[in-house]
Amino acid sequence: MKILEALQDPGSQLCVMLDSLYDGVYIVDPNRVILYWNKAAEELTGYSAAEVIGKSCREDILNHIDENGILLCRGACPILKAMHCRGKSSAKVYPKHKNGRRFPVETHVSTLIEDDGQVVGAVEVFRDITLQEDYRILQEKFNNMLKKYVSGTTYSSIKDTLRSEQPVSPTRLVDMSVLYLDVVSFTTFSEANPPAEVVKMLNDLFGICEVVIRENFGDIDKFIGDAVMAVFHDAADAVRAGIKLFATALPQMNSIRLENNQQEIQVRIGINSGLLLQGDVGTEERRDLTVIGDTVNVAARVEKAGIPGRLMISEACLARLPEDLAACFTYHYSELLKGKTEEIKLFIAAERSDSGE
């Protein structure tokens, strides 16, 4: 029995099979006049078969639009594409329900060709993907929120771990530079200001830190109270980030604070370079991809030994800098940092921190 003849008989095996499908199905002739409309199509669109059979899909029935809002029924229609190439096409489109509401569907179109090679129409199978789209949007929102609370390295590691189905990321020894930033006299500030103002100040500060650090190819490993810890593969990038924070970002922030009759904020920044361990730390329920080791500890102590408004770096960091950037620093003093058996040489940026820009 030919396809079109079978569609005329509601009791045919073809019609019975199509009516039993979960997906909406409709069949059109070469002029896109609707010849068949299954039960699922009725449920999904609100249009009964009696309302649409014999009409063209262009006649204000579904009015499909694509993801950019372009009306497809008068142009790049998936059905026309399929029949033109005598093959198949698929797309995500947004038809209009009888009640006027648009909803997303995943549609697949196949050309109907008789045994003699004649194109007699096309069949479109479509599925409501509203739930999938809601889940996708929720997932995107979750991903964006997650990125706010974990470092970019951690986020990428989580994705890679899930894809590879490995339980944890391997611990590795890497050569990196660690930048520590800390607010000067934070305890005094927090005692003199309302909690909301303290949190807002920290959020403003952390916000500019994130921008500058990412601009210089770094990654914020964690926020520790009023401190920021960031890691860089290149010591020069870490130093450029510190210079920019002192020369541009923090002065701009303080300028706005002064305009609003708010107290200026001062910070110390210290940088150290060396080998450190990078890996998952935590429990089976909660893990964090972080860096640990003596290099990290020294970086924190270099920051504590620093001068507000002046970038302080260790000799290990200085040794990794190109000559032009290293020339921006002068020897400050040597200090036996807590926990060390030998003094650490510390170098401080010139008075004009923007000299390294």
What is the radius of gyration, based on Cα positions, of the chain? 32
Question: In this structure, what token pair is assigned to residue 324?
Answer: 């032009």
Instruction: Using pLDDT thresholds of 50, 70 and 90, give the confidence band for residue 219.
Output: confident
Distances in Å between the alpha carbon of 134 and those of 44, 104, 115, 125, 138?
17, 10, 43, 21, 6
Q: Give the pLDDT score at 75.
A: 63
SS3 content of the chain, % helix, strand, coil (to 5): 40, 30, 30
pLDDT tens-digit profile of 38-88?
999 999 999 998 998 888 877 777 777 776 566 677 666 788 788 888 888
Which of 174, 175, 179, 210 lies closest to 314 in space, CA to CA? 179
Residues in the chain: 357
Residue 223 has pLDDT above 80, yes or no: yes
Q: Give the pLDDT score at 1.
A: 41
Strand partners, 111: 122
Domains of the chain: 3-129 (3.30.450.20), 167-356 (3.30.70.1230)
Residues 149 and 157: their CA atoms lie apart, in Å, by 14
Question: Which residues of the chain form beta strands (DSSP E)?
Answer: 24-28, 34-37, 88-93, 105-113, 119-128, 172-183, 219-224, 227-232, 267-282, 287-292, 311-314, 329-335, 344-349
> Tokens 């604070």 appear where?
257
The dihedral over CA atoms of 171, 173, 176, 178, expressed in degrees to the nearest 10, equals 60
Percentage with pLDDT > 70 across the chain: 80
pLDDT tens-digit profile of 270-301?
999 888 887 666 555 555 556 778 888 899 99
pLDDT tens-digit profile of 143-191?
666 666 555 666 666 666 666 655 555 677 888 899 999 999 999 999 9
Q: Give the pLDDT score at 356.
A: 41
Q: Give the pLDDT score at 255.
A: 93
Exposed (0-12), middle (13-18) or buried (19+): which is 205, by Cβ within 10 Å? buried
With beta carbons less than 8 A apart as the criterion, state whether 336 and 343 touch. yes
Q: Give the pLDDT score at 355.
A: 39
Count other Cβ atoms within 10 Å, centred on residue 63.
16
Alpha carbon of residue 11 to chain centroid: 52
Q: Give the pLDDT score at 341.
A: 72
